[in-house]
Structure 1
Amino acid sequence: MNKRFIIEIILLLIVVSGLWSCYDDKGNYDYKNLISLQIDTSGIKAEQTAYQFENFNVPVDVKYAGDEKNLSYEWKIYPQNPQKGDDVQKYDSAVVLYTKAVFDTIVYEVPGAYYLTLTVTDLAQDLKTYFTMKLNVETSLSRGLCVMDEKDGVYDLNIIKSAKLLTDITASDEHTYYHVYSGVNDLEVTNGKFLGYVFAVGVTTNKALYFFTETGGLTLDLNTYEIMSNDYSSWFSFPMSITPAPSAFMVTSRPMEMIVNNGLVHVWNHSSMGVTTFGDRLDGDYEAAPYLPNISTSSFSTVIFDMKHKRFAPINQFGSNVGTFESTSTGEFDLNDIGSTKELKFMENGFNSYTYAVFYDTETSGYSLYVMDFSGTTATPVKKYSMAECEGLTESSLYTFGNQGNVCFYASGSDLYQYKYASTNKGAVVHSFSGETITGVEVFKNSGHAKDGKLLIVSTESGGEGKVYLIDFNELTGAITGGTTDPYTGFGRIVDVLYKE
């Protein structure tokens, strides 16, 4: 057998082998019908809220035509904004929480914004399908109406979770949490005054609930309510110059935090790099009243009433000084000279972005409403109203102004009044809380909220027991439409309320 014949035999065997392989491989292209696999999420919201340490349920329906033993499930959670380097993918921080089809387990993640994703794998077919939703993890107390109360000389913090304020819960989910501050910190406050709130406004990273006292204040964690700081003077860049006596607080749109302390204004400007405290007092010869109205303007960050010189005074948009308005004696009144006998009783922003101020005249014993427009580039006195025909007014009366219409409520004793300043210029009783004394009245204002300018928060006291009423009213006419018979109870004397979202 020569060499060429052997080579020909080998080549023939290779060809035959190749043909046989092709024939044998034919079966790989006999396609089969894949078994249907899908996740039915009908009725499941794309964004939901879960509470830390509480059970959470996502009732998805996995539809599969084959043997369910072939399926595996993996629920993972990962932060929407992971704190990692750019070279690390966000999925790397995902944590497996559950391995069954329907998510039904306790969530232990710290409060924050997450993605919750389900991966269903068909092991028999090596197929996967996915579902992802946004999940906001909160503590049970992350949001709600904060209530500062006092009982037997001790001040505390309570939280009301109401369906009127928290639109993603139902009435059956409502709950009131009592003694939150003392329960978390095992401490007592004996001189509480009012509450303040700042949460990542604009460029600021400061997040805090302020529990102000007569002689300073506490900074509390927004979710746990643990004390973050109880050294009030350390909030200021020049602590030695501080006489602790806070009386008003606000956050401007710039953003800036602003405190009136001992009649002087201090600003923490979050637009300034490296600034981590309130600065020294704003220069000027003034004594600021305990009111800081929220003003939307490119000219002013807010306006104070200077009790020393009986005038309104602007704080510029940068929060760097207390200025002076030009005299407007030819207008409705002079912003720069309200009158030596006038005492400011109340001031806040309301309808048309105007600022509303109630004054008492020590000479005539009369009350007047002053309306100003500080929302433009110049300040304008709008109108002065005599309140001579407002029933029941006393020096201790409480006031609040609506922001959706010409609505004003005031309270004296047990009676709630409506003041129709833009029409009849009269005030009359609209509801009486028999046997209870009204201790607070406030129109709920929260831009974008369904109840913005349509809900009245009224607190009362009777025999040392405090109550909170969430009263619905027509935002245009002020007519009461409900909520006067179903209060939240179990408090002491209510000192202040604040909505924390």
Structure 2
Amino acid sequence: MKRNIVFFLTSVFICLSVACYDDKGSYDYKDVNEVEVDGLGTSYNLIFKKDTLKITPELKFTQDSLNLDRYGYEWIVVSGISGSEETREVIGTERNLKYFVELEPGTYTLYLKVRDKQTGLLWMNYTSLTVRTEVGLGWLLIGEDAEGYVNVDMIAMPNDTIVINNLLSNNGLPRLKGPKSIMYTGSPYASYLAPYEKLWIATEDRSYYVNTSTFEGELTNVFEMMVYSYLDIPEQLNPVHLLSQRTGGSMNTSRSVACAEGFVFNISSLLSGGDYANPLNRTADAPEKLFKAYPYIFASLGYVSGGVLYDTDNGRFLRFTSSGSTSTALLDNSGEAFPWIQPEGRTLVYGENTMDTEGGSRGNSFTLMKDAGTGKYFIYKFYAYGSSAQKRAGYEVKSSLATDIDKAEFYAFASNRSLLLYVVGKTLYAYDYKVGYEKLYSMDLPDEVSMMKFDVKSGYGDYNDLYIATYNSTTGGTLQKYVLGTDQNKFELKPDERCYWTGLVKVKDMEWKNSAQ
């Protein structure tokens, strides 16, 4: 490949020649040390934030004896075919290129410019470069990197499964601390909703949305910029849970957002605009009085239509519809499985949406409750449907069986078994709460657990896949998929040998991403 272009800066060269050589009556012409630039290759196809581009060019000089330190090098990418200055980026200034690909996915022309710093002469050659994303499908993992900062890895599934690390590195945001959750709101099935896709990076203090393909973000990408309310709300809002997707990854046209500060917001339809009005954590009979909501929205994952909130100030459950602007308190009748309005001292410890379908619903929700006075625990199962939330069952946890449940760091409710899983140290417990058949199972885990979560989002399998993330200083973060056995009379949790990854962040949360981008 010989596509050399030589730019002779004629006037500059003449001036330099006059300055460098004395006129003695007979002219002593010096030959220019010309450069032939070759060996760039014909084209490159690279994965964004996965591949490193390495090129060792072949440079031939007509006067090899000259000092080669006089030459400068620039590797320049130009987006598309526009060639405008705004689309140019220098990705290297050494003779040999070694570049970790952080260019936004697209098509580029890559130039190598070799300049004689003494004469100003320039030689150049080029090749083509395509950057593609492999972050459309797979599991996003948020956690702490080796330096203790927030970062995101991905178990990506373009064809074969690959691991892409450090997706937040050099993304335009400051280095964050305290990873909390990661939330994706896109869908491959509804292209008309693409403008409303968001990928949220949530920390203990602040949340930002980033580009769904490049993970680039800005300090202005915050939730309060989307809120227009006449009520007294905080200057900063930290969204930590979103209600936007059905199982399988399809996106709902409505959107509900729970913030760490106890505020919940709703959009009835994204098609009518992307701004949030007054919060849902209030009732129609007292619209100016805001209660603090538990930062999780209970809803049916099979078909999202409104949901249920928990009022931590008054110990009660309330429902809201997808088109509602306030919440409605749920009332109790005698003889029911559990109370919507909690007795004095009973608080919510943990809650989770599952694909349990008892009662004909498309996904029931669970909460674990605790009485402060007695220390007893209770499990509530209900259908969190916005227009008619329904109680399914209530259970009292047998304290004599549920070893160290008060010390648990992580919980998970199974969709197809009457099991509450919880972790204490390196021990995983599985408590079967079925009345009359209560049992406790346990198994040892290899390392400190940093996350435990059932897959109820991807739409693959039968909701028996449990992901457990662990961490140690040697292997870093690990993620292992286990398959929960379906025999109701025993506890089997088998590791899937094909689904084990190491060298990850210390995983705090995971989110399924199913996108065309």
Q: TM-score range by the shorter chain?
A: 0.5 to 0.7
Asked whether 1:311 is paired with 2:321, we answer no
2:298 maps to which of 271, 293, 297: 293
Equivalent residue number for residue 427 of structure 1: 440
Q: CA deviation at 1:367?
A: 1.6
Aligned residue number for residue 329 of structure 1: 334
Equivalent position of 1:471 in the other structure: 482
* Alignment correspondent of 1:357: 367
Report the counterpart of residue 248 of structure 1 in structure 2.
Answer: 241
Q: CA deviation at 1:299?
A: 9.9
Relative to structure 1, is the Cα distance of residues 497 and 298 closer, same or farther in structure 2, using a 3 angstrom cutoff? closer
Residue number among 457, 474, 478 corresponding to 1:446 in the alignment: 457
Deviations 1:429-455 (A, max 9, x none): 0x3113x12221111013642x24021
Residue aligning to 2:225? 234
User: In the aligned structure 1, how far is the partner of 2:469 from the partner of 2:137?
Assistant: 19
SS at match of 1:241: coil
Q: Is the contact between residue 464 and residue 485 of structure 2 (CA under 8 Å) also seen in structure 1?
A: yes
> Secondary structure of the equivalent of 2:381?
strand
Contact 1:444 1:452 (C-alpha < 8 Å) held by counterparts: no
Asked if 1:214 is matched to 2:204, the reply is: yes
Correspondence for 1:22: none
Q: 1:175 to 1:448 in 2, by over 3 A?
A: closer
Q: Contact 1:406–1:476 (CA<8 Å) still a contact in 2?
A: no
The 8 Å contact of residues 446 and 452 in structure 1, kept in 2 or not, is answered as no
Q: Give the match for residue 403 of structure 2.
A: 391
Q: Structure 1 residues 288, 479: CA separation in 2 closer, same or farther (over 3 Å shift)? A: same
Native 8 Å contact 2:255 2:270 kept in 1: no
Asked if 2 retains the 8 angstrom alpha-carbon contact of 1:264 and 1:281, the reply is yes
Residue 122 of structure 1: aligned partner: none
Distance 2:482 2:304 in 1: 35
Q: Deviations over 1:115-134 (max 9, x none)?
A: xxxxxxxxxxxxxxxxxxxx
- Contact residue 104 and residue 214 of structure 2 kept, 8 A: no
| 1:144 lines up with 2:138 in the alignment | yes
Cα separation, 1, equivalents of 2:456 and 2:304: 23
Equivalent residue number for residue 264 of structure 1: 263
Q: How does 1:52-451 map to 2 (within 5 A)?
A: 139-151=133-145, 152-161=147-156, 166=157, 169=159, 173-185=160-172, 187-200=174-187, 204=193, 205-227=195-217, 229-238=220-229, 241-242=233-234, 243-251=236-244, 254-261=252-259, 262-271=261-270, 273=272, 275-282=273-280, 283-284=282-283, 285-295=290-300, 301-335=306-340, 337-350=341-354, 351-352=356-357, 353-375=363-385, 378-388=388-398, 389-422=401-434, 424-429=437-442, 431-434=443-446, 436-446=447-457, 448-449=459-460, 451=461
Cα separation, partners in 2 of 1:319 and 1:52, compared to 1, 3 Å: farther
Give me the whole-angstrom Cα distance separating, in 2, the residues matched to 1:297 and 1:181. 31
User: Partners of 1:296 and 1:455 in 2: how far apart?
Assistant: 16
Measured in 2, the distance between the counterparts of 1:480 and 1:297 equals 25
1:213 is matched by which residue type in structure 2? T
CA distance in 2: counterparts of 1:412 and 1:458, whole angstroms:
13
Matched position secondary structure for 1:199: coil
**Residue segments in structure 1 that go unaligned for 5+ positions in a row:** 1-49, 56-107, 112-136
Aligned position for 1:491: 504
For 1:339 and 1:176, the matched residues in 2 are separated by 48
Higher mean displacement: 456-465 or 340-349: 456-465
Contact 2:321 2:387 in 1 (8 A): no
Residue 298 of structure 1 deviates from its aligned partner by 8.6
Counterpart-to-counterpart distance in 2, 1:447 and 1:492 = 21
Q: Matched residue of 1:329: which SS?
A: coil
In structure 2, the residue corresponding to 1:394 is in which secondary structure? helix
Work out whether residues 302 and 315 of structure 1, in 8 Å CA contact, stay in contact via their aligned partners in 2. Answer: yes
Deviation of 1:463 after TM superposition, in Å, equals 4.3
Who is 2:465 aligned against? 455
Q: Secondary structure at the match of 1:227?
A: coil
**TM-aligned CA distance change 1:186 to 1:356, over 3 Å:** closer
Indicate conservation of the 8 Å contact 2:419/2:432, yes or no. Answer: yes
- d(CA) in 1 for partners of 2:386 and 2:264? 22
- Alpha-carbon distance between aligned partners in 2 of 1:484 and 1:311, rounded to the nearest angstrom: 44
What number of residue pairs does the alignment pair up?
A: 363
- Whole-Å separation in 1 of the counterparts to 2:172 and 2:137: 19
Rounded to whole Å, the distance in 2 between the matches of 1:489 and 1:263 is: 36
Question: Which fold has the larger relative contact order, with Cα–Cα distance below 8 Å and residues 6 or more apart in sequence?
Answer: 2
Superposed CA deviations along residues 107-159 of structure 1, whole A, max 9, x for unmatched, are x9968xxxxxxxxxxxxxxxxxxxxxxxxx96122222111111444111111
Q: Deviations over 1:3-29 (max 9, x none)?
A: xxxxxxxxxxxxxxxxxxxxxxxxxxx
Provide the rounded CA distance (Å) in 1 between the counterparts of 2:301 and 2:504: 35
Aligned position for 1:31: none
* Partner Cα separation in structure 2 for residue 414 and residue 175 of structure 1: 28
Aligned 8 A contact 1:213 1:246 in 2: no
In structure 2, the CA distance between the partners of 1:296 and 1:149, relative to structure 1 (3 Å rule), is: closer
Q: Percent identity?
A: 17
Distance 1:270 1:359 in 2: 33
Provide Cα deviations, 1:82-129, integer angstroms capped at 9, x if missing partner.
Answer: xxxxxxxxxxxxxxxxxxxxxxxxxx9968xxxxxxxxxxxxxxxxxx
Asked if the contact 1:316/1:323 (under 8 Å) is kept, the reply is no
Q: Summarize the Cα distance change of 1:432–1:306 in structure 2 as closer, same or farther, 3 Å threshold.
A: same
Q: 1:297 to 1:376 in 2, by over 3 A?
A: farther
Q: Who is 2:98 aligned against? A: none
Structure 1 pair 299–249 and aligned structure 2 pair: CA distance change class (3 A) = closer
Q: How much has 1:290 moved relative to structure 2?
A: 1.9
- Which secondary structure state, in structure 2, belongs to the residue aligned with residue 210 of structure 1? strand
Q: How far did 1:184 drift?
A: 4.0
Q: Counterparts of 1:354 and 1:476 in 2: how far apart (Å)?
A: 21
2:207 and 2:382 map into 1 onto residues whose CA distance is 32
Give me the CA root mean square deviation: 3.3
**Amino acid aligned to 1:143:** L
Q: Are the equivalent residues in 2 in contact too, given 1:154–1:191 (CA < 8 A)?
A: yes
